[in-house]
A and B are shown apart, each in its own frame.
Chain A
């Protein structure tokens, strides 16, 4: 999208985009193209012998029923993570925007947990959810419920959805809050004078004005759920039990980084990229139409 009013063409815009383009080409496009090439070859881990096999890596993937299962799980997982983390964050942001007393403390306490190193997250979730020593299973036991996500696939899925959403709440909260605060208060006051209650004001004024932020977060959260959750899955369930939490990006990471099957992993990342590009195009073409800039 371009501003209706804009500056005259000159050499300036090229200079402005140059730094980002250079970094992108060097550290993203070039390595990504290597991955693309990698997806068409079969190679040993050390790169000592390689053979060009065209689309064989892809064929093998599509023959694998487990790979298709992973697709389905990924969509369920991503949808729920994006929905949960965004809606909870929005509620909290609206409340934080409302309250004046103590808002700084709430804000800090909500953002602070985001700073806990993911490297230590595995240990934290161990304390909270481990079937033997964790707090939640220990508490559930008194209600007669035996929590064991090491064996129960649905519980494992619920757990990774929860942990992945948890991590993203602070992020979403921060941007929702920034978005809310840039809405001119005069607009809301005017509506209040017209007799609109808080709920109506939210849906008719605040929510539409927040749509650029919401759109930004929607894209970011979908991308987050698709791509950046393998670390959490690795730490919490390792894709198990019996593949129940093996989503596409975890498989890419696990086959490539851990299993050193470079060709197969590269083929998967190409497919994954294609999906997210398609999803993003859909979001820009259709969802963005509803965004009020």
Chain B
């Protein structure tokens, strides 16, 4: 804290609280809906406070809804989602760090060509070009495995663009100093760039993990084996009953269960945030 201004601090807290209420309200509703019985969620006025059916619904979601008819369990869906989300987030960060490094720190023929080639991938999300992408994946024999689930989603420029922005803010003196020390490009990358991008890597990891975790349409298309189902596909399945109104309480309970792993990631990454902060302050 630079100076002490109680009113400003109070105002900051107030704005944060209002912001949190606004942003987190739908999450609260998810929790409330997951704690009532089916009928209560169709009656006016809808409840704003949790009801008494939370554990009952949890039991149904875990033992009936999610276990489904085939008795395979929810565990494998969470596992599939986890692998997919990790492959997407780690894969994306890895290839983007390398390509952003090349584009910012090297002069080589076709540098801008490569940059724009990567950059246009920002433009068309996979859902819009889904039929031709599906065909490519099918021809490569990547249906029904983790590669097909994740690699096509790695082809996006968001992360490359972000690391480019981060690298551009890193002072040139650092590279000059490193060169005087006789450090090669890879040493410089490992010893200077990586630590300095830590906060952003953490932020990106959180975003990409959630992005991967929440994929619906793409997994739906490339998996036909029940073994490859993800937890978000299960939510979609609970919502689609043909002409049958969805069972809100179970659907919301499943949604709540599906939020837990990303939240663990967020909380875990918090630490890296704080670390990144103190290191730059040194």
Q: Which of A5, A14, A174 interacts with B175 by CB under 8 Å? A: A5
Least CB separation from B276: chain A residue: A181
Q: A24-B155, A91-B15, A273-B124 are in contact. Are A113 and B26 (CB under 8 A)?
A: yes
A9 near B96: Cβ-Cβ < 8 Å: no
CB distance from A226 to the nearest CB of B (A): 8
Least CB separation from B201: chain A residue: A178
Task: Give residues of chain B (82-126) contacting chain A, Cβ–Cβ below 8 Å.
Answer: 94-96, 98-99, 101-108, 111, 114, 117-125
Residues on the A chain within 8 Å of B277, using CB: 181
Could you mark each residue 212-239 of chain A with 1 if its beta carbon is under 8 Å from any beta carbon of chain B, else 0? 1101100110010001101100000000
B129 near A20: Cβ-Cβ < 8 Å: no
Q: Which of A1, A102, A119 interacts with B236 by CB under 8 Å? A: A119
A133 near B161: Cβ-Cβ < 8 Å: no
Residues on the B chain within 8 Å of A16, using CB: 98-99, 101-102, 106
Q: Which of B5, B43, B107 interacts with A9 by CB under 8 Å? A: B107
A104 near B270: Cβ-Cβ < 8 Å: yes
CB distance from B214 to the nearest CB of A (A): 5
Is A175 among interface residues, defined by CB-CB distance under 8 A?
A: yes
B29 near A253: Cβ-Cβ < 8 Å: no
CB distance from A75 to the nearest CB of B (A): 16
How distant is the Cα of A231 from the Cα of B161 in the complex, in angstroms?
A: 24
Residue among A181, A182, A272 with the highest chain B CB neighbour number at 10 A:
A182
How distant is the Cα of A257 from the Cα of B246 in the complex, in angstroms?
A: 24
Number of B positions contacting A (CB below 8 A): 118
A115 near B120: Cβ-Cβ < 8 Å: no
How distant is the Cα of A113 from the Cα of B263 in the complex, in angstroms?
A: 9
How distant is the Cα of A88 from the Cα of B203 in the complex, in angstroms?
A: 18
B207 near A27: Cβ-Cβ < 8 Å: no
Residue among A111, A135, A192, A216 with the highest chain B CB neighbour number at 10 A:
A111
Q: Which of B46, B123, B151, B217 interacts with A277 by CB under 8 Å? A: B123
Is A203 among interface residues, defined by CB-CB distance under 8 A?
A: no
**What are 7 A-B interface contacts by the 8 Å CB criterion?**
A13-B103, A28-B121, A92-B16, A133-B42, A227-B123, A231-B127, A280-B119
Q: Could you list which residues of chain B lie within 8 angstroms of chain A, going by C-beta atoms?
A: 1-3, 5, 8-9, 12-13, 15-16, 19-20, 22-27, 29-30, 33, 41-46, 48, 94-96, 98-99, 101-108, 111, 114, 117-125, 127-133, 135-137, 140, 151-152, 154-156, 158, 160-162, 164-169, 172, 175-176, 179, 185-186, 199-200, 202-203, 206-207, 210, 213-214, 216-217, 232-233, 235-236, 239, 246, 248, 251-252, 255, 258-259, 262-263, 266-267, 270, 273-274, 276-277, 280-281
Q: Considering the complex of A and B, which 10 residue pairs feature the smallest CB-CB distances, nearest first? A: A115-B262, A31-B132, A34-B132, A16-B102, A13-B106, A13-B102, A120-B255, A27-B152, A27-B155, A20-B99
